[in-house]
Structure 1
Amino acid sequence: MSHTAHIPSHRKPRRSASKLAVRAGVAGGVLSTLAMAGTASASPSEPVTETTLEMPVLNLDLAADVSSAVTTAAENTAAAAVTGELRSQEEQARTGAAAEAKKAKEDAEKADAEKKAKEEADRKAVAERATRSSARGSLQSTAASNDEDTVAAPAAGSAAAIVNFARAQVGKAYISGGTGPYSFDCSGLVQAAYRQAGVSLPRVSQDQSTRGSAVSLSALQPGDILYWGPSGSAYHVAIYVGGGKFVGAQNSGTGIVERSLSYDPPTGARRVL
């Protein structure tokens, strides 16, 4: 049987290595003092009785303490790493959410700006259409008020020669390609009328619709060239003779006629004189 078998094996709470070392040192010193005192007090004439001192066994589980400390440190380190990672992820999440919110705000502002721009463009388009409709309605109303009995405003100078010639051709036949003197097409009549004023015009209506300068339909003067269709691509021309009327070679069914502007409102006008 071991000499320490009588000592109960009860595990005590762990102590730090430093405290255990101090206590072990104190115990060793006490035991050394007792041994020296016993030796000094023994008489040489008396037999010496050997005394066995049992050394207390110090239950120093240093390896377990060190292992526990290392394990605790590792656990603390791992916990700190996890905490740092979580904080980093939270910061990234906040940064990403802020960026997404900023982008969403910018997209919303851009969409709102585009919507406002489109609404403004639509408003302007509606206003322009309304203005054009109003101008055309005013022109047609003015032309309608001047019936065929209205006396045309007198033309002056070269314009008078153009107007007089055009009116003198009323009733003659319309023939495609005709340039007079007994039949005309629309551009042939205009070319012949301007020839009376000493002005040479191109032969076809497309070219005639680009000569001179543009003039508003609300500011026409006798002798102005009226055209139908886009400028440069006009499909018909005639001569404004004043009083809200024009003279033109319309078609083979009507021949050369004098009509109110409301009969067939032109697209635009050119002033050559």
Structure 2
Amino acid sequence: MSHTAHIPSHRKPRQRASKSALRAGVAGGFLSTIAVAGAAGPAQAEPVTQTIEMPTIASNFSAAAAASAQATQQLALDIEKQADQDAAAAKAAKDAKKAHAEAVRKDEAKKKAEAAEKKAEAAEKKAKAEAEAKERAERASRSTERTTLSASTGSSGSSSSGSSASAPSSSSSSNVSGSAASIVAFAKAQVGDAYVSGGTGPNAWDCSGLVQAAYRTANIDLPRVSQAQSTAGTQVSLDNLQPGDILYWGGAGSAYHVAIYVGGGQFVGAQNSSTGTVQRSMDYDRPTGAVRVL
């Protein structure tokens, strides 16, 4: 067996040699390029412009983003709208509560007013009923006095010859005779009647109408007005009065008020619409003068 047959060869395959040569050529060319560029200098270098293209957003992504933004805006509007509705509802509830409280207050005030009005009406009815009862009693009393007066006047008229004959009067502190008794009794019987300007009875009088009616019971006709009545007889002093004398206020012939002296320092007269026909002390309203007709 030959010794040379077992010794491997130290030569590289040709293919490997060609690869090495290729690598050496590429490297040499790269270095040569660098050397040339360096020798040329910066003045000969040209700027490198590079355009980067961004990937185009897909149309479906844009639509989704727009829809999301619209949904967010709508949500914000819905929240704002809901907040406005809640505020309006709260205000309406507050106003309703206030209105209810005001209605309750007014209703209570109305009930109180109605109760007070009913109470006042009841009191008024009671007072009216009492006044009517009192008036009926007074009228009955006056009717009795008039009946008694008619009987007493007839008997005294036949038994007396003048003013010196007198009979006691149940309605006066003085002794009153004949016609004077009739006049005084009639005047007292009208106490409580109403005062009406121009009134001549039977339940409403003015001052001269009452005096005229009282003297008619004694068959004496007097003038209708107070001015004429104040001069219808003989002027007498207020210190020398007799029952039946006519009292007047104002001047004789120009009097503005008249009444009848009933004795005991008192008079009866239809005073005014507030008091009606009353019996008063002369100190209540001192007259100016007096006239005696009887």
Superposition TM-score, scaled by structure 2 size:
0.42
